[in-house]
Amino acid sequence: MSDWVLKAEGLSKGFTLHLQGGVRIPVLRDAGLVVAPGECVALSGPSGAGKSTLMRLLQGNYGADEGAILICRADGSVADLATASPREVNGLRRDTIGHVSQFLRVIPRVPALEVVAAPLLARGVARELALARAQALLRRLNLPDRLHALPPATFSGGEQQRVNLARGFVADFPLVLLDEPTASLDAANREVVIALIGEAKARGAALVGIFHDLDVRGRVADRVVEVLPLREAA
Ligand SMILES: Nc1ncnc2c1ncn2[C@@H]1O[C@H](COP(=O)(O)OP(=O)(O)OP(=O)(O)O)[C@@H](O)[C@H]1O
């Protein structure tokens, strides 16, 4: 097994404001991050420093201007997300990178159970087994059974977040990205998330998260990495 799951090096990212005469906003310059199997790294830093931007790069949502984002797949092969083709990025998201965003992107008419089972179905897991695992995880996160067959569009913020969490933890992704995973949760469900993160670490997953809840961060993170605004980092 490789001694890292994620190795990002020399990452730079800026935004061009086309509506303001092409003004360029640099956000990350020569950023790097290495995460080992079984390790959870928390991104910290002031608002606007670039934490979400870094997360979006690690997810393949944004392209990097410079640098490499090396990701070790479960079979030991390595991909560079920064230069991967759209097809490779889709493959990495299907098999390797799990993501729990702060807000659920609701797909109309798709029931919560299907939303959660989707990552397993995409990997070819038998439908019955995928749905059973999804149901078990939703129950563990205390989402009432009567909601499982309903589309999450009308769910409360905390209910939607639990659907999102179940989707991110239902498959054994080698890399799991967590964007404020407990922001809308009550104390009991926060404990479930802390346990899920612990179990993911125990099976050797690498996790990167933004945790504004410092108690949760203190209990799950092995290391805190500061993302500093460029003028301070320079
Ligand atoms: N798509 C975009 N276009 C232009 N500027 C952007 C874009 N996304 C982010 N930025 C800018 O990049 C900087 C970093 O934003 P980012 O959301 O990564 O910060 P953050 O550290 O996650 O902040 P917070 O803790 O407040 O969520 C900010 O100045 C923001 O305005």
Q: What is the DSSP string of 132-155?
A: HHHHHHHHHTT--HHHHTS-GGGS
Average pLDDT of 5-19? 93
Q: Where does ligand 1 bind, in terms of residues with CB under 6 Å?
A: 15, 25, 27, 45, 47-53
Residue nearest to atom 26 of ligand 1 (CA): 47
What was the pLDDT predicted at 1? 60
Report CA(63)–ligand 1 centroid distance (Å): 15
Looking at residue 156, what DSSP letter applies? -
Return the ligand 1 atom nearest residue 55 CA.
Answer: 18
Give pTM, 2 decimals: 0.93
Position in ligand 1 atom list of the atom nearest CA 17: 4
- Tell how far the Cα of 182 is from the centroid of ligand 1, in angstroms: 21
Residue closest to 81 by CA, chosen among 91, 49, 205 = 91
| Residues paired with 209 in a beta bridge | 42, 178
Confidence of residue 232 (pLDDT cuts 50, 70, 90): low
Q: For 87-91, what is the mean pLDDT?
A: 94
Please report the pLDDT score of residue 17 as a whole number. 87
Asked whether the ipTM of the predicted complex exceeds the cut of 0.90, the reply is yes
8 Å CB contact between 70 and 78:
yes
Residue whose entry in the numeric block shows the structure tokens 């993170």: 221
pLDDT in tens, 149-206: 999 999 999 999 999 999 999 999 999 999 999 988 999 999 999 999 999 999 999 9
Q: Cβ(119)–Cβ(167) under 8 Å?
A: yes
Q: In this structure, are residues 71 and 79 in contact, taking their beta carbons and an 8 Å threshold?
A: yes
Burial of 156 per CB tally in 10 Å (0-12, 13-18, 19+): exposed
CA-to-CA distance for 85 and 87, rounded, in angstroms?
Answer: 5
Q: Which helix (H) or strand (E) holds 87?
A: helix 86-95
